[in-house]
Amino acid sequence: MSILVLVVLGLVQGLCEFLPISSSGHLVLLSKLFGIEDSLFVSIILHVATLLALVVVMRKEIWHLIKHPFSKEAMTIVVATIVTCLIACILMPFITASFEGLFLPIAFLASAVLLFLAEKLSKKEGDVDFKKAGIMGLAQGLAIFPGLSRSGTTISAGLMSGAGKENSAKFSFLISLPVIMGSLLLEIVKVVVLKEPISVNWLGLGIAFVVAFVVGALTINYMLKLTKRLKFKFFAIYLVIIAIISAFLLW
């Protein structure tokens, strides 16, 4: 795996993780095109880079949650995470197989449909309560499959349940923290405990990590500042196009 290819993957991860277009889906598609092995491992490592970017950009919000672990906002994140974990455990047998890419076009298309519906069915903006947190946690659990945008699916769920664009985007970013950390721990167990072999260019992966971190931080700032003015239909149109392209390439 060349350094250039890994840098491209890092750039794509940084751009796509916080835009509603599925970073994991794009990584799987590129991994198939470039013939990359251990794409799941590479995907998780690059997700950690954007996780760190999120921690840096939203450090004030995260620190507030740490200082007030039993506040309503913190508890809504706990509720969402529990629901996500339950769904992920149920779907676990299908997750690894999904990284083969056969269902990628369908998942991209599903993300597009969700964004279209979110624009049409979004309700008056309100706070994220426990019910909305559970719905967004459910959406996040389903979005574990590549091609189903995690941010797009959770923000769409928030919009349709009445959380509004700004609150949905902020909550979507915050509930990604425990999920990505959990994925990293599982991958560490595979590598260290189960001694699964990993074949990757570590220097290239390190550079890609930095690229994903920097680009991810810039993208988060963009999304948080412009969320209210964003038109998700444009992202939906892009997803329809990428679904068609991926269908031609993978089927």
Tens of pLDDT, residues 180-225: 888 778 777 766 666 666 677 788 889 999 999 999 999 998 888 8
Q: What is the pLDDT of residue 145?
A: 85
226 has pLDDT over 80: no
Exposure of 144 by Cβ count < 10 A (0-12 exposed, 13-18 middle, 19+ buried)? buried
What's the pLDDT score for residue 40? 65
Q: Most distant CA pair in the chain: distance in Å?
A: 51
Q: Which of 108 and 30 is assigned the larger pLDDT?
A: 108
Q: Which residue has the higher pLDDT, 48 or 230?
A: 48
Length of the chain, in residues? 251
Q: What is the pLDDT of residue 207?
A: 93
Q: What is the rounded distance in angstroms from the CA atom of residue 140 to the CA atom of residue 89?
A: 13
Q: 164: closest CA among 230, 213, 69?
A: 230
- Taking the CB of residue 249, how many other CB atoms lie within 10 A of it? 13
Q: How confident is the model at residue 31 (pLDDT cuts 50, 70, 90)?
A: confident
pLDDT tier at 6, thresholds 50, 70, 90? confident
Q: Please say if the pLDDT value at position 116 is more than 80.
A: yes
For residue 52, pLDDT beyond 80: yes
With contact defined as beta carbons under 8 Å apart, do 246 and 104 qualify? yes
- What are the CA-CA distances from residue 99 to residues 31, 76, 89, 102, 146 (Å)? 10, 30, 16, 8, 7
Q: How confident is the model at residue 60 (pLDDT cuts 50, 70, 90)?
A: very high
pLDDT higher than threshold 90 for residue 81? yes
What is the chain's mean pLDDT, rounded? 86
Q: Is the pLDDT of residue 227 over 70?
A: yes
The residue among 110, 150, 67, 106 whose CA lies nearest residue 244 is 106
For 139-175, write each residue's pLDDT tens digit.
Answer: 999 998 888 999 999 999 999 998 888 889 899 999 9
3-state class percentages of the chain: helix first, strand second, coil last, to nearest 5: 80, 0, 20
Given this model, what pLDDT does residue 111 score? 94
